[in-house]
Structure formats: structure tokens, C-alpha cells
Amino acid sequence: MTPEQKQKIEQVLSPNLFGVIATNSQEGTPESSLVGISESKDGGIVFRSLANSRKNQNIKTNPKVSMIIGFGEKSLVSLQLEGRARLVVDESEKNLLEDGHCARIKVYEKF
């Protein structure tokens, strides 16, 4: 990724707290979910999900996902991503990601 591309991505990510992630069920049916988003230090997208959620079960079976972020009152620009998601199972990595993510997405303080 070029520095220009990274800057453009950050311009969309920065003001947006939520995005929509699309996964596929075991039957191949598309399923979309609104998720709180943040950026990891390595430039990945982080979102939080309950262990038994549909999206986690779908990602275990098929890690290919798509996501859209942006396009709202503040900006008419959106970011469309396709890639692979991975579930974080390492407790130290999970704690590190959750600390930064939950600080950005204040609604998680209730959980």
C-alpha cells in the first residue's frame, strides 16, 4: 500500500465509527452486520463480535468478507474493502486490540 492510499483510507476511517461487514453463511447466503470499527497499528480493520455470533461462525467457515465504511452526512466518500477476516484467539492480542477499540467506540463501555 502506498502512503497516498494509506492516507486516503485514514481520511475515511477517522470520522467513521461504524461500517457494514458482509460474510457468507455455510449455505452461501450473504449476511451483513453493522459493526463498530477501528484501525489496528498494522493498518487492519478491527471490529468486535460476540463469540457465538453469526458473523464469527461464518468467518470460521469462510474468512472471505467485504466491508463498506463511510458515506453519510459528513462525507459522500465511502471505502469498500474485500479481504479475509480472522478471529483473534490469543488473549494478549485480544486484550490489546480491545483496549484501543473500546476506547474509540464508546458504546462498548456498556458491555
Q: pLDDT per residue over 53-80, tens digit each?
A: 999 999 999 999 999 998 877 778 889 9
Give 108's pLDDT tier (boundaries 50, 70, 90): low
Position 110 pLDDT exceeds 60: no
pLDDT at res. 60: 94
pLDDT at res. 107: 66
50 Cβ contact list (under 8 Å, min separation 6): 56
Contact 10, 17 (CB under 8 A): no
Residue type at position 52: N
Question: Given the DSSP bridges, would you call strands 64-70 and 18-24 parallel, antiparallel or unpaired?
Answer: antiparallel
Contact 83, 68 (CB under 8 A): no
